[in-house]
Each structure stands twice: as C-alpha cells, then as structure tokens.
Amino acid sequence: MRRGLIRAACAAASLALSLTVAAVGAGSASAAYPGAAGHLAFVRGGNIWTIAANGTFLTPLTGDGRASDPRWAPQGQRIAYLFEGNLWVMTGGGGGKTRLTDDASRYTYSRPTWSSNSRYLVFVKTAKGARYGYLTRYNLTNGVQVTYTDKMNGHLVKVAALPGPVAWTHASNGGYFIAYEGAAAQCAAPFKYCLDLLGLSAQSQFQNGYPSLEYGHTNAVRFTSPDWYPIRTLYYRDIIATSENCPAGHCTATGTEYWLSHLVLPGSYQAVYAPTGRYLAYVKNVGGAPVIYTQRASDGPYGPATALTDGTQPDWQPANLS
C-alpha cells in the first residue's frame, strides 16, 4: 500500500493552501453533511425506506422493487437515488419523484454524492460493458452533465473511475474534494486498486482539477464506498471506506477502514457517519442476511453496536440545519 500525490506539481495559488497537509484540529475521521441526525434511508427488497435511529417510523418510499443507492441532500429534504438504472430525486417523504436521466440502456450510474450547496450530483457514468467509466457531474439547475478533467503529464484527461460510490466534502483547510476509485491513468501500474481524491477550488469547477492518489494497492485489496467525517473535515485524513479483498475479481468485505490505515468494525461495509459525527451506520451480514447497525464513534474508539433493521446502503439524514 502506498499513499502520495499522483502529480506533485499542484501549484495553482487558488488551491495551494488547500492541498497543504496541515496539522490542525479536526476531531475524528459522502456522504454525511453537518447537522442534527435525522432518519436513515436504506434499501430493502429493492425498495428505499426510511427509519428513525431508534428503530421507529419505518416508512417505505418506493414500492416497485427496482430502486437503490439513496443519498440525502445536505439540507435533508431530498433524496437522490437510482430507479431502473436511471438517476432520480424525490422528497424525504417519498413524494415529488423526478427522473433526471433516461439512458440506462446505454450507461450505468454509480451511487451519487451531493455538493454541499445541493446544486450538483456527482457519480461515475460507465458505458454498458466497459470496465470503468468517468467521474461525471449533473447540474440540477439546468440538467447539464459534464465530465470532470484533470491534467496529467501535461495533458487534460477525463477522470477515469471504477463504477463505485463517490463522496464529496468541503475541507476545513480549504478546497473541495471528491473521493473515488481511480482507473486507467488514475490508477496506473503497479497498482491494481486506487482510492483517489480530486481537488477543486470551487463547487462549480469541473475542468483541470487536482488529482491525488491517497491509497494504491499492488495486491487484491480495494477501498470502496468512501465517506467523510462531517465536522471540520481534513481532506487527507478524515475519511472511512469499506476494505475488500478481491482475489480473481471476486470481492469480499473485510471491514471498515478509518484513515485508510486502521481496520475497525471487522466484517462491516457501507459505513457512513451521522451528520453529528458521533455515530456510524453500517451493514454486517448475520446468518447470511444483511443487517444495518448503528454505533457510537467516540467510545474507545467505537461503542456498543445496535441492530437497527434488515437492509443495505444506509445514509443518514442531515436535519435542522441553521
């Protein structure tokens, strides 16, 4: 495993400070955004549900058995999700369902992430049959999709990524960062799997971003489903991800990695922070079936686990933002 910059010369003044590894305070280590902890959205039986963190108010939001990948918006009022392979949004109560894309016969979409201003969704868009796709942004204001680019070896290239979940954060030490699994030029030999960050000086920027390789593996270890600690985030540290062992391309979750160097919660996957940063929700298989758990993230380092409900793909609602 190796950590370091793909490209050492990230010299633009507008982002230089944000890419400085600063030893400033940030609590413990996206999809999570600051706020009070509201309901969790999750998937069960091909439908999206919500539930309170104490196990009450279990509510189905879809009923066709073809929905997945819910993500709460930063203000906690909308959910982005996939339905029949296309990207949709709806209200937190399941109303106002709106289709954003209509090309699922030709492309697949990964689980999206929201910008902190709720104007954009970012995901990996992959042509059917392709091994990897490209980091793509959807503008909810005008419906325009654009592909992110960065400069490598003096050339502007599309940001190639494996078709997995992505996570966006605004770092406390400056800049915006999207975590994704790099592919092609973003994950060159000798690495088999890479977890990369794309640094941006503004949420509106999509061209000429600043790529960095956070962790590259020469063996069959993959970091996927990244999520950021939501309070005073440090871009280079405050991130968790599912660690998977992938011999012969078949991946099995081994647990959640904190700082991408400390294995915690063995056997867990799809972990996300509560908007307060005080709790985690994650999935663990029990008797061959997936169960969502919640757990304090601050007791040595993790407190007792509570089984919440059967399901996968949890995401925690940011509520009561001031």
User: What domains can you pick out in the chain, each with its CATH number?
Assistant: 2-17+27-319 (2.120.10.30)
Q: How deeply is 261 buried, as exposed, middle or buried, from its count of CB atoms within 10 A (0-12, 13-18, 19+)?
A: exposed
Number of H helices, E strands in the chain: 1, 29
DSSP 154: T
Cα(30)–Cα(28) distance, rounded to whole angstroms?
15
User: In which element (H, E) is residue 138 found?
Assistant: strand 133-139
**What is the pLDDT at residue 7?**
33
- Residues with Cβ < 8 Å from 60, sequence gap 6 or more? 47, 48, 49, 94
Q: Tell me how far CA of residue 167 lies from CA of 57, 62, 180, 218, 300, in angstroms.
A: 27, 24, 7, 23, 26
Residues 101-132: tens digit of each pLDDT? 999 999 999 999 999 999 999 999 999 999 99
> pLDDT band at 31, cuts 50/70/90?
low
Q: Taking residues 233-262, what's their average pLDDT?
A: 89
**Of residues 11 and 164, which shows the higher confidence score?**
164
Asked whether 34 and 319 are in contact (CB, 8 A), the reply is: no
Q: How far apart are CA 159 and CA 80, in angstroms?
A: 22
Whole-angstrom distance, CA of residue 76 vs CA of residue 36 = 10
pLDDT tens for each residue of 253-280: 999 998 877 888 999 999 999 999 999 9
Rounded mean pLDDT, 144-173:
94
Q: Which of 190, 260, 127, 206 is nearest to 198 (CA)?
A: 206
Q: Which residue has the higher pLDDT, 249 or 73?
A: 73
Which residues, listed in sequence order, are joined to residue 43 by a DSSP beta bridge?
48, 312
Q: Which long-range contacts (CB under 8 A, 24 or more apart) does 218-223 make?
A: 218/1, 218/190, 218/191, 218/192, 219/192, 220/192, 220/193, 220/245, 220/246, 220/247, 220/248, 221/1, 221/193, 221/245, 221/246, 222/181, 222/193, 222/246, 222/251, 223/181, 223/193, 223/195, 223/257, 223/260
Burial of 281 (0-12, 13-18, 19+ CB in 10 A): buried
- Note the pLDDT of residue 268: 96
Structure tokens at 228: 């950021």
Question: CB-hemisphere CA count at 13 Å for 209?
Answer: 27
Count of positions (residues) in the chain: 322
pLDDT score of 93 = 97
pTM of the model as a whole = 0.89
First-to-last CA distance in the chain? 41
